[in-house]
Structure 1
């Protein structure tokens, strides 16, 4: 097995889906490593510094001031100097032959270019699509998180089957979180068991339009919406939500508050029209909370008969009626999609190349 150098750029980002995936998978892969030569290259200004027993930690003298600069030059230089193959988790990688192993969780900017409307967001779109193409063409293995994403990558960039590997997400981080009920003190309008909860960054693909339209049509039903706005990718429906009396906008909430909200919701609503995987419904299912999700992108292939489904483009339904319909036990889904399984699959791939 070749020497592997992990790109620690995710340690300088907020802990959202991709960053959590990297953090959780590496923590478990560290326990599986025996004689493999695996290191992680961490920027000097990382927000957190992990403690590993078997993954060697290399702290760079360089700080991340620009993620493109880090990926294209600093991390590439470290791979070159240490004669290592890079492992990149964040949909980005050095250009050309130093691309290494690289994750493409999805190709959102390729599939939905119109969601990137402002000047800054058009630059983000260009940068994302540059990385998609580079990884698809130059990665030693293209790693992704679902059958849906694998199919989209193969079709869009003509990636052969043998070059792409699927390593799905997990949920175990959620079971160790202690619920924080102070969120109900902060938002007294929320009554336990009588609201629907939706979670995610307030970006267009999370489909707040669906929530806004449904809430308008059903003023007797209450919604709690958490999430932090992403520059330029915020839908206009956010303004509508701010005016609705039956919608509580929570803003950023901690993991502990999220767990408490999940546990006490009548259902978790996830109307996204585009997800490479979609972790939040797993978190809901592990709490015993019904998940109502859109039948779009990766979601049906992952959640199967364990969830209730809505049309991302239509609110012509009744959530309360949907919840009366039977679903299968979530046990098989929760046993299949774990970080433990992901870590073992990733290590097997690294060992075989």
Structure 2
């Protein structure tokens, strides 16, 4: 089957979970004998450099100038539509929520909805782009919608009044990252044991709650540090909170870098803490499990659905409960080991191969 993917997310993301999802899906579809092609005339995405040139119709603009990339959207839309129409796919997959109405097509369209966070927490997002409005329009024009969890599917149907028969659930796979050899002279091995936080830290991600829960425990403060990966350098407000809680920046450190570095951090962490108020799926817990890292996670939205029995849960609104969950895990070697084993078992439920197979079922359904 010929499957065309549009330019959108590859113009918006240099890195990120959504573009990684599509690249992984494309690679799996190719291995299954299908013919996927990404139409991204001018993009900024790093992952596409690892995809066969025959699969990507476009070239990378090495720039961090988000304004320039936004200006390229109308050009990408026009060229992508034209080139895709000439290629004549059996089905197209829109990779985000376009502000442009696509030209009339003779082939069916599938859309993936990743979460309903803009609808759940509208006060945390700029009105620029009207993402919620664009999402609704994209959902209405799609022939079928994929959601990445039952939680997201339920939220979508409730918020937009979508016909249940139009929405399917396809779970994501996960990445194990490069294997690393932990040497005794590595930078991390010489540090104190630490709890790991990954990704963006603002608003509903509940980083401030995590800091307060950590600082609430004298035992955690005495024996553990915090490592944060991604999400940019600490803001002034975050630094002020760190100091106000009696912590210091050498005990709460930020780390950026490659997937290999992230894999290293997962491998060496005492536990991974995921305090988010809401997630459409949540890949980091699976990534942590794959590196043998115990997962301490909030009991909200899709997290129980994804993590299952492999996590130690807490109410994200309760600082005391979060603090107690962290103490419970890090100070019990036997519990940590049983959680690691449960995590490896849980991973068998998720793979990019399974994601591609179930996505193909959706494509076949809409092509009939």
* TM-score interval, smaller chain: 0.7 to 0.9
Q: Which has the higher mean CA deviation after the structures are superposed, 271-280 or 201-210?
A: 201-210
Q: Helix, strand or coil: the match of 2:276? A: coil
Gaps of 5+ in 2: 63-67
Distance 2:281 2:236 in 1: 21
Distance 1:314 1:223 in 2: 19
Match among 338, 349, 361 for residue 336 of structure 1: 349
How far does residue 80 in structure 1 lie from its aligned partner after superposition? Answer: 4.1
Q: Helix, strand or coil: the match of 2:172? A: coil
Match of 1:261 in 2: 265
Instruction: Decide whether aligned partners of structure 1 residues 60 and 262 sit closer, same or farther in structure 2, where only a CA change above 3 A counts.
Output: closer
1:37-116 aligned at under 5 Å gives the runs: 38-46=36-44, 47=46, 48-52=48-52, 56-59=55-58, 65-66=69-70, 68-69=73-74, 72-84=77-89, 85-92=91-98, 94-95=100-101, 100-116=109-125
* 8 A Cα contact 1:143 1:164, kept in partner: yes
Match among 96, 119, 127 for residue 122 of structure 1: 127
Report how many residues are paired: 337
* 8 A Cα contact 1:202 1:235, kept in partner: no
Match of 1:347 in 2: 360
Instruction: Decide whether aligned partners of structure 1 residues 222 and 61 sit closer, same or farther in structure 2, where only a CA change above 3 A counts.
Output: closer
How far does residue 330 in structure 1 lie from its aligned partner after superposition? Answer: 2.4
Match of 1:151 in 2: 154
Match of 1:229 in 2: 232
Instruction: Decide whether aligned partners of structure 1 residues 301 and 61 sit closer, same or farther in structure 2, where only a CA change above 3 A counts.
Output: closer
Distance 1:39 1:145 in 2: 22
Q: Helix, strand or coil: the match of 1:273? A: coil
Instruction: Decide whether aligned partners of structure 1 residues 235 and 109 sit closer, same or farther in structure 2, where only a CA change above 3 A counts.
Output: farther
How far does residue 213 in structure 1 lie from its aligned partner after superposition? Answer: 0.7
Match of 1:274 in 2: 278
TM-score norm. by structure 1 comes to: 0.83
Match of 1:307 in 2: 311
Match of 1:135 in 2: 138
* 8 A Cα contact 1:270 1:294, kept in partner: yes
* 8 A Cα contact 1:145 1:276, kept in partner: yes
Gaps of 5+ in 1: none
RMSD (CA atoms) = 3.3
TM-score norm. by structure 2 comes to: 0.80
* 8 A Cα contact 2:310 2:346, kept in partner: yes
How far does residue 26 in structure 1 lie from its aligned partner after superposition? Answer: 1.4
How far does residue 313 in structure 1 lie from its aligned partner after superposition? Answer: 1.0
Instruction: Decide whether aligned partners of structure 1 residues 161 and 266 sit closer, same or farther in structure 2, where only a CA change above 3 A counts.
Output: same
Instruction: Decide whether aligned partners of structure 1 residues 111 and 235 sit closer, same or farther in structure 2, where only a CA change above 3 A counts.
Output: farther
The C-alpha deviation readout for 1:30-70, integer Å capped at 9, x for no partner, is 11124xx54321324454344449x7443379998326535
Q: Which has the higher mean CA deviation after the structures are superposed, 78-87 or 159-168?
A: 78-87
How far does residue 188 in structure 1 lie from its aligned partner after superposition? Answer: 8.1
Instruction: Decide whether aligned partners of structure 1 residues 147 and 71 sit closer, same or farther in structure 2, where only a CA change above 3 A counts.
Output: farther
Instruction: Decide whether aligned partners of structure 1 residues 150 and 71 sit closer, same or farther in structure 2, where only a CA change above 3 A counts.
Output: farther
* 8 A Cα contact 2:43 2:58, kept in partner: no
1:154-233 aligned at under 5 Å gives the runs: 154-171=157-174, 173-174=175-176, 176-179=177-180, 190-191=191-192, 194-218=193-217, 219-220=221-222, 221-229=224-232
How far does residue 305 in structure 1 lie from its aligned partner after superposition? Answer: 1.1
How far does residue 265 in structure 1 lie from its aligned partner after superposition? Answer: 1.0
Q: Helix, strand or coil: the match of 1:165? A: strand
